[in-house]
Amino acid sequence: MKILPYLPDRSGLAYSVGTTLDRFIKLKQSDFPFASGELSQLLRDIALAAKIVNRETNRAGLSNIGGAFGQVNVQGEEQQKLDVIANIRFMRALSKGGEVCAIVSEEEDSVIDLQNSSGKYVVAIDPLDGSSNIDVNISIGTIFSIYRRITPAGSPIQQEDIMQKGSEQVAAGYVLYGSSTMLVYTTGCGVNGFTYEQSLGEFFLSHPDIRAPKSGEIYSVNEGSQLDWEAGIKNYITLCKERRYSARYIGSLVADFHRNLLKGGIYLYPATKKNPSGKLRLLYEANALALIAEQAGAMATDGSRRILDIKPTSLHQRTPLLIGSSEMVQEAEAILKGEDVKSLI
């Protein structure tokens, strides 16, 4: 009689496509800078809130949670009902876990002190990104950054705990509520993507060790603002057109970023005359995606500075953002600095 050993995974890796998010987090725990298990739990809390927001998103057309909430947020933008719902869901998940001491959210004017001074982590979050797309059934997202507090656990939260550079993030990620729902995150050791299986209620590893193409043929920018751009951006976009690149712009940063990360491309939200610092927020939009970009071999800049090197000075600070395939971002940056376009072709 021949007895064969069961070999479930012939890749030799401890994890492979199909590994559940929970198992993956556990297996990768020793990669974390502080392998205490708290960051693992925090990631699980975020995944749970993402599942709930995913459920609400899928029901949006039926359950009267589409449309405006009737208030504007601190950015002066009209809050959608789902913005408010997503904010509540993430706040609850992050406050119950006990790992987090403070939260910065797009939907909250001030830092939220969770009155849990023993929590070691600070989270910055855009609970619902791309909210203008909710009512028209187009992909939306969540973006999160996780920092370790600087002041000792047990003491009151200080400004320095919140105003950290993006390079200090210990983890960052996004959830994309699209044709599938995906959670993509990094703890500084590469980027992994998980797809949600609705009927099982689980995220499964579907995109291990994501590597962004060095270059691509997609540019993503709101061309309606072209008349307000500075010459460098106009020149770069003209170059994209001369090369017959494809224009793709969803208007949900997470969705545009995700596509370009996988296919190769560049996303630009530049400074305009109306918005000299651009539109996107450093703490809970640009920083998280910049860390993921770099971890996948891509790049993120504000046109002259690495996004992750910018020291924040205010909570809802905006920044121009050029993010995506490294060669494309480098080229756009060179053109913005006035270098000769022709010599770059």
By beta-carbon proximity to ligand AHG, the closer residue of 22 and 78 is 78
Task: Report the residue number, 45 or 129, with the smaller CB distance to ligand AHG.
Answer: 129
Which strand ranges, in their side-by-side order, compose the sheet holding 218-220? 246-247, 218-220, 266-269, 321-324, 299-301
Residue number with CB closer to ligand AHG (39 or 254)? 254
Here's the x/- map for ligand AHG, 70-89, by CB under 6 A: it reads as -------x------------
Interatomic CA distance for residues 117 and 157, integer angstroms: 7
| Chain-centre distance for alpha carbon 128 | 11
292 in Cβ contact with 173 (< 8 Å): yes
By the rule CB under 6 A, 107 interacts with ligand AHG: no
Nearer to ligand AHG, 151 or 222 (CB): 222
Burial classification of residue 62, based on how many CB atoms lie within 10 Å of its CB (0-12 exposed, 13-18 middle, 19 or more buried): exposed
Q: How many CA atoms lie within 13 A of 236 on its CB side?
A: 30
> Minimum distance from CB of 288 to Mn ion (Å)?
11
Binder among 279, 303, 320, 335 for ligand AHG (CB under 6 A) = 279
Q: Which stretch binds ligand AHG (CB under 6 A): 16-24, 191-199, 246-254, 326-334?
A: 246-254
Q: How far is the CB of 137 from ligand AHG (least distance, A)?
A: 15
**Is the sign of the CA dihedral 265, 19, 176, 83 positive or negative?**
negative
**Closer CB to ligand AHG, residue 82 or residue 171?**
82
294 is an interface residue for ligand AHG by CB under 6 A: no
- Alpha-carbon distance of 4 to 336, in angstroms, equals 62
Q: Min. distance of Cβ 35 from ligand AHG in angstroms? A: 33
Please report whether residue 129 would count as binding Mn ion according to CB under 5 A: yes
Of 169 and 220, nearer to ligand AHG (C-beta) is: 220
Pattern of binders to ligand AHG over 120-159, x per CB under 6 A? Answer: ------x--xxx----------------------------
Per CB under 6 A, 277 contacts ligand AHG: no
Which does residue 222 touch among ligand AHG, Mn ion, none (CB within 5 to 8 A, set by kind)?
A: ligand AHG
Q: Does residue 106 touch ligand AHG according to CB under 6 A? A: yes
Residue 302 interacting with Mn ion (CB under 5 A): no
Phi, psi (deg, nearest 5) at residue 103: -130, 135
275 is an interface residue for ligand AHG by CB under 6 A: no
Among 66, 98, 190, 251, binds ligand AHG (CB under 6 A): 251
Alpha-carbon gap, residue 191 to 181, rounded angstroms: 17
Instruction: Report the alpha-carbon distance of residue 59 to residue 135 in Å, rounded.
Output: 11
CB 292 within 8 A of CB 174: yes
What does 77 bind: Mn ion, ligand AHG, none (CB cut-off 5 to 8 Å by kind)? ligand AHG
Q: Is residue 126 involved in binding Mn ion (CB under 5 A)?
A: yes
Evaluate whether 167 touches 176 at the Cβ level (below 8 Å): no
List binders of Mn ion among 100-119 (CB under 5 A). Answer: 106
Decide if residue 38 touches Mn ion (CB under 5 A). Answer: no
Encoded tokens for 336: 């913005």
Q: Sign (positive/negative) of CA torsion 326, 250, 194, 101? A: positive
222 scored as a contact of ligand AHG (CB under 6 A): yes
CB of 69 to Mn ion, least distance (A): 12
Q: Is 256 in the site for Mn ion (CB under 5 A)?
A: no
The binding site for ligand AHG (CB under 6 A) comprises 77, 106, 126, 129-131, 222, 251-253, 279
